[in-house]
Every structure is written in C-alpha cells, then in structure tokens.
Amino acid sequence: MEPEFAEGPTEEVERLAAKTLRPERRISAEDLVASELASAILSEPLQKIRHACEALMLLDEAELKQAGITNDEAKESEKLHAVSLALYNAYVHELVDSYGRVVDNYCSIAWPFTREEAKDWLGWAEKLSVTYWRHGDADAMKEEELDKLERFERIYEITRRQATMPTLKTFTTRFEQYAMPKATVLMKKIILLVSPDSYRQALQILRGGRRGKPEP
C-alpha cells in the first residue's frame, strides 16, 4: 500500500484557484445579449444607445426575425452605434491656463463617414449651430473655403477639425434626443429573446453582485 501524502500548499492553492475560476456554466449568447441590455439600462444616454446597438449585433438572422427587427432597423442601428462611438471618443484638446487649471480648448470628432456622405449621416444635426475654434489653429480652413461647402459638408469639416466645446455638447445632446427613442424600441424588442433569469443575473453582476442564484 502506497503511503498517503498531505496536500502541500502549492497543490492546495492550485485546487482552490481552479475551483474559483471554473464557471458554474458556460457563457451563452443569451448571456451576452442580457449583459448588453443590462449595461444599457445602467448607462448614460450615449452609452445606452451604444449598448442597445451592440445587443442587436449579437443576434443572428433568425433571432432578428423573431424579435420583429427589420432590415432597415438593423442597418440604422449600425449608424447609431458608429455615431455614438464617434461622439463618445471625441478628441478634446486641453490647455493649462495662467492659474494652472486644465481647461478644454476645442474638440475634434472622427466621424465614421466621408464628407460626401455627411448629409446622409447628419440629418439629425441640420439645424444645429456649429462654431469653428480659431485661436492659433494650424488645421483651420479659410472662411472662403468653408463658405463654398454645402451645409452638411461644412458641419463635417468644422467638427472633424476644431470645433468649440459648446458645439460638441450641442451635437451630443441632439444626437441623444434623436437616437434614444430608436434605441429604446430596439431594447424592447430584443429583451423578449432573453429569459428573466439571464437578465436579472446580468444586472446583478454589473451592480457588483456574484453570479449564482438570482435575487428574488
């Protein structure tokens, strides 16, 4: 009979680590969709739009049909997602003033489309005021060049180069007003594909809880 050896510290740590890291069950596609929906619920408007669109991206054709999501809605969500990311990730140039305070100078938005496509993408921004930041800017266009551009092309050039910070705030707020109703409709349709248990667990995890038995 072979002698029994006590489990050493290394073996015990490895055993406990394996038990801790082993998931209770495999993460399913439904879990991913539920996580995106839960993230949308807990996020600010711009991120809410993004997460709603990303939940849709996880669905296959059969699931889109089951949820009653049309091809037009799916295509539009791609645009909403791209614009929400562009606004969220807008570059903000900061400057240290004479008092040592960091202040926002101007912004640049990396739009996911070309100047020629601006009218098709920025219809929601048609009536917005857009202002060029022109203090020592090396990338500025001359007024006569801007004046030759069509309305949406002008918006595109100013915002992708050096727009004032109030311009970014105005564009973000207007886009949220435009896109939120559309994102809400998508969320209402997609959530029908997710079980209440998966959705509750996703919310619980994002709120800092542990995966396991859902809250009552």
Under 8 Å between Cβ of 112 and 156 = no
Under 8 Å between Cβ of 50 and 88 = yes
Q: What is the DSSP letter of 132?
A: B
User: Directed axis angle between helix 29-42 and helix 196-206, to 10°?
Assistant: 50
Question: For residue 136, is it left (φ>0), alpha (ψ between -120 and 50) or beta?
Answer: left
**Alpha helix stretches (DSSP H) within the chain:** 9-21, 29-42, 45-57, 61-67, 71-88, 118-121, 143-147, 151-161, 165-190, 196-206
Longest Cα–Cα distance in the chain = 96
Please give the Cα distance from 201 to 142 (Å, whole number).
55
Q: What is the pLDDT along the chain (216 residues), one digit of tens a residue?
A: 544 444 444 555 555 444 444 445 456 888 899 999 999 999 999 999 999 999 999 999 999 999 999 999 999 999 999 999 999 999 999 877 777 777 778 899 999 999 999 999 999 999 999 988 876 554 566 777 887 899 999 999 999 989 999 999 999 999 999 999 999 999 999 999 998 988 898 888 888 754 444 443
